[in-house]
């Protein structure tokens, strides 16, 4: 027999919450889920009234639930935000075309304006064409660098003040592990922040920083939200896959592991840029496209050059450490 909800004590419990172990009914689960996202938004000062916010929308579970919940909280708590959906079309047939169809349905259902930016127009290359040239190894490097910049460029077109992404607690814990394993401490200190680039032209915010993947999927399931789930045709991304599996195994044994990893990483402190002992990269602007960069040319321009002049396969071979990805 199913026990009663530990919150309202009336209805039948439907979800065991991974963070607390509490059993709650559907209705209380929705309320707690939405309130916790609201708390993350308020306590980390993710938004200010009147801001234009571009939601990075892939058509997958996280961004679909994010678009739904942000619209809801914006109305419920009068955030006064102008919300937009922003999608990136990498040009991967059999993958992105289907997921973009899901974003188109979200646009109608949630009544949010949608902008789609694509690699072909921004860089002159689709991912399908890039993979034809460089093969399947490390193509995620190109895609990661291009996607990050494409989101920023799309957000600029929307005159957005911020970009909100659907990164959830599991994603963040996974990225903490990855950056730790790679010894990448500039990213290790950044990746756990709910806001990155605070004070820059286009900060990125993660309202789902403390939200478990399990709860996002349960929320979408109970609310019957329309999302698209498939693996990218090029993506095995083996290293991240190992970190993910490791974390999922830990979670199965002790569900609070995920949020504990995040709390641990929040305590990491690293020297400021300029400390001679540890060279943290200093941010400046790309000389060609004026995108933010730590070198003379930004990564996207370097990678586009390598595709155009036929050296991409070589760049690819030496790139694993330099341009590992965008966490």
Binding residues: 56-58, 62, 88, 166, 171
- Least distance from another protein to the Cβ atom of residue 28, Å: 13
| Total binding residues toward another protein, as defined by CB under 8 A | 37
Count Cβ neighbours within 10 Å for each residue of 13-37 and write b for 16 or more, e otherwise: bbbebbbeebbbbbebbbebbbebb
CB of 81 to another protein, least distance (A): 21
224 to 253, contacts with another protein by CB under 8 A? Answer: 227, 229-232, 235, 244-245, 248-249, 251-252
Residue 272: CB minimum distance to another protein, A: 33
Q: How far is the CB of 20 from another protein (least distance, A)?
A: 13
Q: Tell me if 217 contacts another protein by CB under 8 A.
A: yes
Q: Out of 30, 55, 60, 96, which residue is the one contacting another protein (CB under 8 A)?
A: 60
- If the CB atoms of residues 40 and 64 are measured against another protein, the closer one turns out to be 64
169 forms part of the interface with another protein (CB under 8 A): no
Among 11, 16, 223, 294, binds another protein (CB under 8 A): 16
Strand pairing report for 82-89 and 114-118: parallel
Q: Compute the distance between CA of residue 128 and CA of residue 274 in angstroms, rounded to an integer.
A: 41
Residues with Cβ within 8 Å of residue 258, at least 6 apart in sequence: 18, 169, 170, 173, 212, 247, 250, 251
Q: Per CB under 8 A, which region of 31-39, 42-50, 156-164, 209-217 contacts another protein?
A: 209-217
| Whole-angstrom distance, CA of residue 111 vs CA of residue 70 | 12
Residue 1 CB, shortest distance to another protein, in Å, is 9
d(CA 204, CA 206): 7
15 interacts with another protein by CB under 8 A: yes
- Binding residues for ATP are 56-58, 62, 88, 166, 171
Angstrom distance (rounded) from CA 169 to CA 62: 11
Pick from 36, 62, 89, 193 the residue near another protein by CB under 8 A. 62
Cα 278 to its chain centre, rounded Å, is 28
Please, are residues 150 and 119 in contact by the beta-carbon 8 Å criterion?
yes
Q: Report the nearest approach of another protein to the CB of residue 266 (Å).
A: 23
Tokens of 312: 């991409």
Q: Where does this chain touch another protein (CB under 8 A) — which range of 14-22, 152-160, 193-201, 295-303?
A: 14-22
Cβ burial, residue 320 (10 Å; 0-12/13-18/19+): middle
Please say which residue, 103 or 302, places its beta carbon nearer to another protein: 103
Please state the φ and ψ torsions of residue 262, each to the nearest 5 degrees.
Answer: -65, -45
3-class DSSP assignment, residue 201: coil
CB of 199 to another protein, least distance (A): 28
Helix (H) or strand (E) holding 313: helix 312-322
DSSP letter (8 states) at residue 292 = E
Out of 180, 185, 222, 239, the residue judged to bind another protein by CB under 8 A: 222
> Given the rule CB under 8 A, which of 126-134, 185-193, 221-229, 298-306 is the region that contacts another protein?
221-229
Specify the residue, 110 or 227, whose C-beta has the smaller distance to another protein.
227
Q: To which residue do tokens 């889920």 refer?
A: 33
The contacts of residue 118 (CB under 8 Å, 6+ apart) are 88, 89, 90, 91, 126, 150
For the bound state, the minimum distance from the C-beta of residue 3 to another protein, rounded and expressed in Å, comes to 7
| Chain residues that interact with another protein, rule: CB under 8 A | 2-3, 12-16, 23, 58, 60-65, 166, 168, 170, 213-214, 216-218, 221-222, 227, 229-232, 235, 244-245, 248-249, 251-252
């Amino acid at each position: 027999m199913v026990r009663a909800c530990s919150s309202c004590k009336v209805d039948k419990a439907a979800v065991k919450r991974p963070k607390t172990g509490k059993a709650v009914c559907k209705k209380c689960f929705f309320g707690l889920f939405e309130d916790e996202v609201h708390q993350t938004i308020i306590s980390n000062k993710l938004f200010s009234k009147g801001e234009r916010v571009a939601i990075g929308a892939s058509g997958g579970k996280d961004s679909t639930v994010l678009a739904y919940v942000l619209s809801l909280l914006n109305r419920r708590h009068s955030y006064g935000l102008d919300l937009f959906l922003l999608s990136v079309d990498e040009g991967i047939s059999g993958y992105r075309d289907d997921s973009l169809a899901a974003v188109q349905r979200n646009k109608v259902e949630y009544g949010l304006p949608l902008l789609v930016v694509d690699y072909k127009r921004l860089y002159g290359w689709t991912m399908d064409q890039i993979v034809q040239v460089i093969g399947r190894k490390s193509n995620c490097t190109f895609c990661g660098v291009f996607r990050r910049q494409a989101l920023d460029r799309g957000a600029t077109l929307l005159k957005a003040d911020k970009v909100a992404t659907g990164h959830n607690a599991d994603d963040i814990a996974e990225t903490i592990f990855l950056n730790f394993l790679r010894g990448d401490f500039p990213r290790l200190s950044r990746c756990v922040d709910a806001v990155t680039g605070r004070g820059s032209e286009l900060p990125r915010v993660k309202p789902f920083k403390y939200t478990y993947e399990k709860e996002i999927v349960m929320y979408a399931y109970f609310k019957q939200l329309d999302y698209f789930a498939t693996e990218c045709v090029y993506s095995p991304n083996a290293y991240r896959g190992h970190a993910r599996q490791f974390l999922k195994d830990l979670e199965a044994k002790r569900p609070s592991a995920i949020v504990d990893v995040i709390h641990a990483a929040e305590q990491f402190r690293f020297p400021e840029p300029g400390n001679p002992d540890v060279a943290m990269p200093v941010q400046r602007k790309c000389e060609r496209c004026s995108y933010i960069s730590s070198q003379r040319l930004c990564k996207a321009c370097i990678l586009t050059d390598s595709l155009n002049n036929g050296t991409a396969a070589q760049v690819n071979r030496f790139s694993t450490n330099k341009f590992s990805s965008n966490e």
